[in-house]
């Protein structure tokens, strides 16, 4: 059996797969965020229960938010107790087996590339945009890994001055410590920020999308600006990786009109006569974190 542990800021989910990656079951528990020993104990309990139920010693992959650096140490704003800890090493030691670990957005990219929406392409970029914006690049169904584990963080590249001036935007501080990251404009909260910047009221994203579809002038101005900035941010992905396809997940990917129009807005930020890759919706959505972690575990043990 293969266990994909999808670790979030509030919940840990174990997704249990057979060797063919058919989901057998999933279970969720709250994430211990303060005590690291409680955090590791929780993972040990989930795995041990699964081992006992299926009478196996399952292999383990972990997907979690934040950066896992070259030494395996975590940096996560959402789960303070894992900072500077080597979760894969510590869990592996307790359970006497090798554990694979990767950023959850990179797990998403792998899941979609191996047997999701990107399975028929060689070079796949998986981008999640919800409350944040991050992703990962895969080549022939293998995750592209990098020296410090930060490749794929397109959401924390900086908004170009040309767009800053075009829309008279203020410089926004980002939670990562850098000024004016794309994420502050292209995430769900980013759209709402833009709407208020243009004089709109405080609404939620579904309401704003509904107004856009109804032709509301302010919602249209907001989404035109949003698409321009999102196109610029995805053009950095194309400039860096030139993927065959971009698979989008997260809440923003559910707005079909955004997906349809995005290639045109990407091309506006590319060299003349160069085109955008296809942009398509993810197949597995929220299930991708655990699924990608399980694929990572399978790849680790295939070596
Ligand atoms: Zn940032």
* Spatial separation of the C-alpha atoms in residues 170 and 184, rounded to whole Å: 11
Instruction: Give the alpha-carbon dihedral of 9, 191, 194, 238, to 10 degrees.
Output: 100
Report how far apart the first and last C-alpha atoms of the chain are (Å, whole number): 17
* Spatial separation of the C-alpha atoms in residues 7 and 19, rounded to whole Å: 22
| Nearest to 123, CA basis, from 110, 135, 139 | 139
- Calculate how far, in angstroms, residue 176's C-alpha sits from the geometric centre of ligand 1: 4
User: How many Cβ atoms sit within 10 Å of the Cβ of residue 149?
Assistant: 21
| Nearest to 147, CA basis, from 246, 235, 67 | 67
Please, which residues have CB less than 5 A from ligand 1, an ion? 156, 174, 176, 178, 181
Mean pLDDT per 10-residue interval, the chain, length 303 residues:
95 96 95 96 98 97 93 90 97 98 96 97 97 95 93 95 98 93 97 98 97 98 98 98 97 96 98 97 90 96 81
- Calculate how far, in angstroms, residue 97's C-alpha sits from the geometric centre of ligand 1: 35
- Calculate how far, in angstroms, residue 66's C-alpha sits from the geometric centre of ligand 1: 12
- Calculate how far, in angstroms, residue 178's C-alpha sits from the geometric centre of ligand 1: 5
Task: Quote the strand ranges of 31-84, DSSP E.
Answer: 59-64, 67-68, 74-75
Which tokens is 295 given?
A: 């694929």
- Calculate how far, in angstroms, residue 159's C-alpha sits from the geometric centre of ligand 1: 10
- Calculate how far, in angstroms, residue 18's C-alpha sits from the geometric centre of ligand 1: 38
Containing 159, the helix (H) or strand (E) segment is none
- Calculate how far, in angstroms, residue 183's C-alpha sits from the geometric centre of ligand 1: 7
- Calculate how far, in angstroms, residue 181's C-alpha sits from the geometric centre of ligand 1: 5
pLDDT digits (tens, 9 = 90+) for 58-110: 999 999 999 999 899 999 888 999 999 999 999 999 999 999 999 999 999 99
- Calculate how far, in angstroms, residue 223's C-alpha sits from the geometric centre of ligand 1: 21
- Calculate how far, in angstroms, residue 52's C-alpha sits from the geometric centre of ligand 1: 42
Tell me the pTM.
Answer: 0.94
CA distances from 201 to 171, 198, 204, 217, 224 (A): 21, 9, 10, 13, 17
- Which DSSP symbol is given to 158? B
* Spatial separation of the C-alpha atoms in residues 77 and 55, rounded to whole Å: 36
- Calculate how far, in angstroms, residue 147's C-alpha sits from the geometric centre of ligand 1: 19
- Calculate how far, in angstroms, residue 154's C-alpha sits from the geometric centre of ligand 1: 9
- Calculate how far, in angstroms, residue 187's C-alpha sits from the geometric centre of ligand 1: 12
* Spatial separation of the C-alpha atoms in residues 143 and 33, rounded to whole Å: 28
- Calculate how far, in angstroms, residue 213's C-alpha sits from the geometric centre of ligand 1: 30
- Calculate how far, in angstroms, residue 81's C-alpha sits from the geometric centre of ligand 1: 21
Provide the 3-class DSSP secondary structure of residue 82: helix
- Calculate how far, in angstroms, residue 185's C-alpha sits from the geometric centre of ligand 1: 11
- Calculate how far, in angstroms, residue 32's C-alpha sits from the geometric centre of ligand 1: 25
pLDDT digits (tens, 9 = 90+) for 166-181: 999 999 999 899 999 9
CA distances from 23 to 14, 31, 129, 269 (A): 11, 22, 25, 40
- Calculate how far, in angstroms, residue 132's C-alpha sits from the geometric centre of ligand 1: 9
Angle, helix 205-214 to helix 188-197, in steps of 10 degrees: 60
- Tally of residues, the chain: 303
Q: Which residue has the tokens 């990608």?
A: 292
Rg of the Cα atoms in the chain = 20
CA distances from 29 to 11, 81, 95, 127, 137 (A): 6, 17, 19, 26, 30
* Measured CA angle at 249 (ends 247, 250), to 5 deg: 160
Q: Indicate the burial class of 282 (C-beta count within 10 angstroms; 0-12, 13-18, 19 or more).
A: buried
């Amino acid at each position: 059996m293969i266990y994909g542990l999808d670790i979030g800021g509030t919940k840990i989910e174990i997704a249990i797969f057979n060797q063919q990656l058919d989901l057998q079951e999933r279970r969720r528990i709250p994430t211990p965020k303060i005590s690291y020993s409680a955090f590791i104990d929780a993972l040990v309990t989930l795995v041990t229960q699964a081992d006992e139920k299926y009478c196996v010693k399952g292999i383990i992959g972990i997907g979690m938010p934040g950066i896992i650096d070259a030494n395996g140490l975590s940096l996560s704003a959402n789960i303070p107790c894992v900072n500077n800890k080597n979760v894969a090493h510590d869990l592996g030691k307790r359970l006497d087996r090798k554990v694979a670990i990767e950023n959850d957005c990179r797990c998403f990219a792998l899941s979609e590339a191996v047997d999701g929406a990107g399975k028929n392409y060689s070079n796949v970029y998986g981008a999640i945009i919800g409350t944040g914006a991050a992703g990962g690049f895969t080549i022939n169904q293998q995750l592209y890994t990098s020296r410090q584990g930060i490749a794929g963080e397109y959401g924390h590249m900086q908004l170009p001055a040309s767009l800053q001036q075009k829309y008279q935007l203020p410089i926004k501080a980002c939670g990562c410590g850098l000024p004016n990251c794309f994420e502050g404009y292209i995430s769900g909260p980013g759209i709402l920020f833009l709407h208020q910047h243009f004089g709109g009221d405080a609404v939620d994203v579904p309401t704003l999308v509904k107004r856009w579809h109804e032709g509301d002038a302010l919602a249209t101005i907001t989404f035109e600006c949003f698409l321009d900035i999102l196109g610029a941010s995805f053009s950095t992905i194309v400039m860096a990786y030139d993927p065959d396809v971009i698979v989008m997940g997260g809440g923003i990917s559910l707005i079909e009109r955004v997906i349809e129009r995005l290639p045109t807005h990407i091309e506006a930020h590319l060299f003349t006569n160069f085109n955008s890759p296809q942009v398509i919706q993810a197949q597995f959505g929220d299930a991708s974190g655990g699924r990608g972690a399980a694929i990572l575990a399978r790849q680790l043990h295939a070596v």
